Amino acid sequence: MKVLNVIKDYLVITFGIFIAAVAVYFFLVPSGVTVGSASGFGVVLSNFIPLPLSTITFIINVVLLVVGFILIGKDFGIKTVYSSLSLSVFLGIFEIIFPNQQAIMGDQFVDMVCYLFVIAIGQAILFKCNASSGGLDIVGKIINKFFRVELGKAISMAGICVALMSAFTSDAKSVVLSLLGTYLSGIVLDHFIFGLNIKRRVCIISKKENEIKEFILHQLHSGATIYEAIGAYDNKSRREIIAIVDKNEYSKLMNFIVKTDPDAFLTVYNVNEVIYKPKVY
């Protein structure tokens, strides 16, 4: 069963990389816009280095992967290695089958927007499988580790640097579109990729404390923390249940609370990251 799960993961990763390669080759390259990415950096370098884009992208990814292994650790991303190398393979195949590919949409801005959304779908699939396409994701993780910059902002910083490099090879319009595309890319990534991992912190004050606690523990198979809270108005002591749940668990929990205690007091917050060691039963 474990082997089958591994095979399934890599099939899904391969599909995600295929979508990412389609975005790069059919939308990013013809548009001439250098949206901040390793592939975008490759587009800039292809104007100075007499090598195919697939080869340049391969070299960039290999260098970044080596740096990632050295600075982040040996456990860093076997799946990322597979993904980044597969991207170069797919680009090479497209170069053979579709040489001199022209812009599909015929408009630079529309091509850029199509690229952002198509690449987001591919990356969302990769992140769901705990993988990435490599490239500037690695740079972002290095900046995040050593400078404590939030990962999303770190990736955007690296992307903007690449977008600015397009000034050496493109006109002013392309440079502006590159910067705009990098900014929009961060928004799309937050929505389609990082949004997949968002959990919710639910704070509950209810007269049905025991029933809600039992539901969280034995129906959702999740955990909870209980704090003593004192109301500022009446100075009465009450117990507050706090649980971290995913989107599916959140829906079940809210339905249960509404049915069990319609008068319960709730506050809900989005949580982007949870670091903990799972209990062993």
- The structure tokens listed for 32 are 């001439």
* Domains, the chain, ordered by start: 2-196 (no CATH), 198-271 (3.30.70.120)
- Three-class SS state of 34: coil
Query: 203-248 pLDDT, tens per residue?
Result: 999 999 999 999 999 999 888 999 999 988 889 899 999 999 988 8
Q: Tell me phi and psi for residue 271, to 5 degrees.
A: -125, 120
Give me the percent of the chain exceeding a pLDDT of 90.
25
**Which residues touch 278 (CB under 8 Å, ≥6 apart)?**
none
Q: Quote the pLDDT of residue 281.
A: 47
Q: Residue 103 burial by CB count (10 A; 0-12/13-18/19+): exposed, middle or buried?
A: middle
Contacts of 273 (CB under 8 A, 6+ apart): 197
pLDDT digits (tens, 9 = 90+) for 129-140: 777 777 787 787
Lateral strand order in the sheet of 237-245: 225-230, 237-245, 199-205, 265-271
What does the pLDDT average to over 116-131? 80
The SS3 assignment for 73 reads coil
Environment class of 169 (CB within 10 Å of its CB; exposed 0-12, middle 13-18, buried 19+): middle
